[in-house]
Structure 1
């Protein structure tokens, strides 16, 4: 018990160090990958006007901030309430991502897209699980586990806000990118990123299965 204040202080000092904050921000941005998921955004919002697409892009960034902030502050608590293991959450989220990637690869309508004008893809699937997916949520929860002081949480929220704002900016210019590339260019880009998205999702599922069933991994090796 006497060593607890020392550990807490050490964690706080590490958390507020600039290199640590930068590393955490870069890691979160890389996992969210708004640039790589731009073709997904354009496919899911296909059929809407550029103005509607830009509005959706801005709202997605805001939704990403809310989702990651809740994950940072109460993610572990929420999962415990529903009895959901973080590994199971990763697998479920990546199954949905894999379905989206498969549809992109085959140039089919997204399984989560809607033609209902009243329907909105802002929260599902764009904010979660495409951008603020299982990996990003798990990273936020892990950050909260590692750094527990008030300053740490403020720093974590700052990182979340910055990443969310960057996502909004990237998606806001999505219609301009689509116009620049043209239908043929967007078709090629969509298929390439569909394959990459499918591969990333499958790899994440395999990794999560290895965590859930370590005996299966050791037997396979």
Structure 2
């Protein structure tokens, strides 16, 4: 039981600070400022659902997929950092929206399309979270199909489910901020969040570049 509890805590405590749903809630609010409360609540459910399965895939199969395509984790960080920076720059340039409410059907369709990119990837589950999930998933038990290993996998899945619930709660209850801040406050929040998002993207990309440069300076010696 101690190992099962440790597996749950390893997944939850390892991923929660990196995913940081509480810190990402203002960014989610800024990117969904044109949505109605019902559409924003639906997006919160979809993002939590997408995040859960993306983290499951990264934990269980991520290392195998990257190895198959010959992709390293620093490259994932660089690409993800570019995506985050581009998303933040676009939000910083466009501001809080076009000033008109979109048609309901069009907004619903756009919300469904945006629930994965950019709201799930890279805003919620970014390169950092994927890297942590890959690291956690790389520690396979000696008997991967035994009963004990299955219990550890179940505990890890419960940890990922707890992360998804935290994402949903943080995003779902970011809605009252709109009422308290007002239009001017939301506009300030959009600009500030967009700038922070650009900084986060640059930081993620720089960490990937630093790892790549370190690999170039210390190449693996061939026999």
Call closer, same or farther: CA 1:152–1:183 in 2, change over 3 Å: same
Match of 2:25 in 1: 38
Distance in 1 between residues matched to 2:138 and 2:67, nearest whole Å? 14
CA contact (8 A) 1:98 1:202 kept: yes
Match of 1:126 in 2: 119
Mapped pair 1:65 → 2:58: no
Match of 2:137 in 1: 144
Q: What residue ranges of structure 1 are gaps of 5+ in the alignment?
A: 1-11
Distance in 1 between residues matched to 2:190 and 2:155, nearest whole Å? 35
Call closer, same or farther: CA 1:195–1:47 in 2, change over 3 Å: closer
SS state of the match for residue 117, structure 2?
A: helix
1:49-198 matched pairs, under 5 angstroms: 49-108=36-95, 116-117=106-107, 118-119=109-110, 120-148=113-141, 149-198=149-198
> TM-score under structure 1 normalisation?
0.79
Distance in 1 between residues matched to 2:48 and 2:187, nearest whole Å? 25
CA contact (8 A) 2:95 2:190 kept: no
CA contact (8 A) 2:59 2:133 kept: yes
Match of 1:16 in 2: 4
Distance in 1 between residues matched to 2:75 and 2:153, nearest whole Å? 26
Call closer, same or farther: CA 1:181–1:217 in 2, change over 3 Å: farther
CA contact (8 A) 1:54 1:174 kept: no
CA contact (8 A) 1:44 1:121 kept: no
Q: What residue ranges of structure 2 are gaps of 5+ in the alignment?
A: 142-148, 219-223
Call closer, same or farther: CA 1:84–1:175 in 2, change over 3 Å: same
Mapped pair 1:205 → 2:205: yes
Q: Quote how far apart the aligned CAs of 1:176 are.
A: 1.8
> TM-score under structure 2 normalisation?
0.79
Query: How many residues are paired up?
Result: 201
CA contact (8 A) 1:72 1:156 kept: no
Instruction: Pick which of 115-124 and 86-95 moved more.
Output: 115-124
SS state of the match for residue 71, structure 2?
A: coil
SS state of the match for residue 198, structure 2?
A: helix
Call closer, same or farther: CA 1:216–1:174 in 2, change over 3 Å: same
| Superposed CA RMSD | 2.6
Q: Report which structure shows greater RCO (CA 8 Å, sep ≥6).
A: 2
Mapped pair 1:26 → 2:19: no
CA contact (8 A) 1:36 1:193 kept: no
